[in-house]
Amino acid sequence: MADLVNLHRYRKKKAREAAEQTAAERRLAFGVSKAQKNADADARRRNDAALDGHKRIREDET
């Protein structure tokens, strides 16, 4: 005797698997991890601070 398959559950399972596959592809193509975003922001902040520290102040501007 054959096993019974609930078609509603089967369709939902297939849809979830397809959605997860699509999400994984999009994460690879477009995604930047939160840790990477934070690291980039920290580096940008350090660079800005370093550049601000090297500014020259002219006497006529003060």
pLDDT digits (tens, 9 = 90+) for 24-56: 999 888 888 888 889 999 999 999 999 988 888
37-59: string of b/e by CB count within 10 Å (b at 16+)? eeeeeeeeeeeeeeeeeeeeeee
What's the rounded Cα separation, in Å, for the pair 62 and 36? 40
Q: Report the domain count for the chain.
A: 1
Position 1 in a domain: no
**Two tokens at 6?**
């609930």
**29 or 10: which leads in pLDDT:** 10
**Predicted TM-score of the model (pTM):** 0.46
Q: Which domain holds residue 42?
A: 7-56
Do the domain assignments include residue 33? yes
Enclosing H/E stretch for 4: none
Confirm whether 38 is domain-assigned. Answer: yes
